[in-house]
A and B are shown apart, each in its own frame.
Chain A
Amino acid sequence: MKIALTSVFVDDQRAALAFYTEVLGFMKRRDVPVGDNFWLTVVSPESLDGPELLLEPSDHPAVKPYRDALVEDGIPLAQFAVDDIEAEHARLTGNGVVFTQPPTDIGAAVVAVFDDTCGNLIQLIEEKLDATHDDAR
């Protein structure tokens, strides 16, 4: 078994595709009409066969209270790994991305949290090389 797909709810699928590709740098993988919406996924250019991220419409009534409560407390809904978090922070800030938490050293890693403009907070993580010894691999 492996994780092939996970999802974030987005307010507007086309705006989300623009942000996730043009600003974050992911690549569109699938874009299939389903009713009024689309089965719309992106992948990382660093792993084209890796997990897909589904940009899922947020029209279910449970989504708004769920996301509002998480965003109020600053809780991210997904985590993306980067090699150089300071460089990404500078690059994204330069593109107008708003961070709720700047790069913060938490010991085993440096993390930051930004607003994806689609209704979610996303965490970036740069793991420290010497901190991976207890990974299950």
Chain B
Amino acid sequence: MVSNTSGLVVHEPNLAKIAAACGYCPQVRGYEASATLICKLSLAYSAFMVDVFRALDDQTRRLVLDELSVRDGQTLFEICSTLTMRHGLSLTRQAISQHLGVLESAGLVVTERRGRSKFHYFSPEPLAEITARWPTRKRTEH
């Protein structure tokens, strides 16, 4: 665990992911140099979080996550057919593929090859970063 200047606590395994997401911050890529890291981390953390928020800011991408949470591990074909038949969306396969790419770059979807096909899985870990940043807690009575 590493604390940054703004008091955020970030789990070690996510540091590499955060560093990778922060393309404009070369110091963070070599995050072993923790003195530099600490002062740059909030910037890197923001870059990573923006990705998650941008990924969620789209009705189609939220529907994809809805469908994957009903049945995890779907091919592109299955995702396309359920979006079309169940939700009446008339998107091209290429468009849905691009939406999956955004979800994957935000870490919300991971893919796995089984046999010769590629399957998409919902990965909720990045959502935990949101509640880590703004913990859900009961409103204090006054």
Contacts and interface: CB of A to CB of B under 8 A. Distances in A.
Interface of A: 68, 71-76, 98, 100-101, 104, 106-108, 111, 113, 115, 121
B78 interface: yes
B116 interface: yes
A115 to B, nearest CB: 7
The 9 closest A-B pairs by CB, nearest first: A74-B75, A106-B85, A74-B77, A73-B76, A71-B116, A75-B77, A101-B78, A107-B85, A100-B117
Interface in B80-139: 81-82, 85-86, 93, 115-119
B4 interface: no
B117 A72 contact: yes
Interface residues of B, number: 16
A68 B118 CA distance: 11
7 contacts: A73-B117, A74-B117, A75-B76, A98-B115, A100-B115, A104-B78, A111-B81
Contacts of B42: none
A100 B112 CA distance: 13
At the interface, is chain A mostly helix, strand, loop or mixed?
mixed
Contacts, number: 51
Nearest to B116: A71
Contacts of A121: 117
B115 to A, nearest CB: 7
A24 B35 CA distance: 65
Contacts of A113: 75, 77-78
A126 to B, nearest CB: 14
Contacts of B76: 73-75
B14 interface: no
Given A106-B85, A107-B86, A115 B115 contact: yes
Nearest to A67: B116
Contacts of B77: 73-76, 101, 113
Nearest to B113: A72
Given A101-B74, A101-B75, A113-B77, A106 B86 contact: yes
